Amino acid sequence: MKSNFLVVSTSLNQDSKSRIMARIAYDNLKRLADQAEVNWLDLQEVELPICDGGPAYEHPNLPAVKEQIEKADGIIVAIPIYNYASGAMAKNLIELTGRAWTDKTVGFLCAAGGKSSYMSVMSLANSLMLDFRSLIIPSFVYADGNAFDETDGITDEAVLARIEKLSRELIRISDSLKTAA
């Protein structure tokens, strides 16, 4: 049975740096994951409601998004960092899709303006680990504005190497867990 991987871009900013990182991870997975299915979920392209604990769960786009997460063996989540915290749409996505994250391997890509917010995804990671038994890849990729050039490409070779390493780890761990099951 072939593996299924998902890359999720959670930024709603049209000039998103985390989305650039997500696209690179997606391309890496397509190249590296032999015969795997690799899917893309961009919250700029899929309207989701703000979680309200009630009617939001009835939104017509939610079943397809939950299905993408449920089918994935491994997920890379790209998150913008604002004011020393993960962007709200990442948390909103997890709140709306909840149990779909159960037993997933999850890696994080983070883009921030400065160097001081590198631990900002820990609350999301802890929630995924404790609530849904997700296995979190501990080597997050964190890039500040200096990693990008004026044309919105990544010029920092170390960041590119870390994105590739995270992609490889997602494949290795997800496939190992799938084989062990």
**Structural domain that includes position 69:** 4-180
- Contact status, residue 61 vs residue 85, Cβ threshold 8 Å: no
What are the b/e assignments for 51-62, b being 16+ CB within 10 Å?
A: beeeeeeeeeeb
- Count of domains forming the chain: 1
Residue 49 has φ and ψ, to the nearest 5°, of -75, 165
At 181 the pLDDT is: 66
- Neighbour-count burial of 85, counting CB atoms closer than 10 A to its CB (0-12 exposed, 13-18 middle, 19+ buried): middle
- Contact status, residue 97 vs residue 62, Cβ threshold 8 Å: yes
Q: Residue 126 maps to which CATH number?
A: 3.40.50.360
Please state, in angstroms and rounded to a whole number, the distance separating the CA atoms of residues 15 and 42.
Answer: 13
pLDDT truncated to tens, each residue of the chain (181 aa)?
789 999 999 999 998 999 999 999 999 999 999 889 999 999 999 999 999 999 999 999 999 999 999 999 999 999 999 887 898 999 999 999 999 999 999 999 999 988 887 788 999 999 999 999 999 999 999 999 899 987 769 999 999 999 999 999 999 999 998 877 6
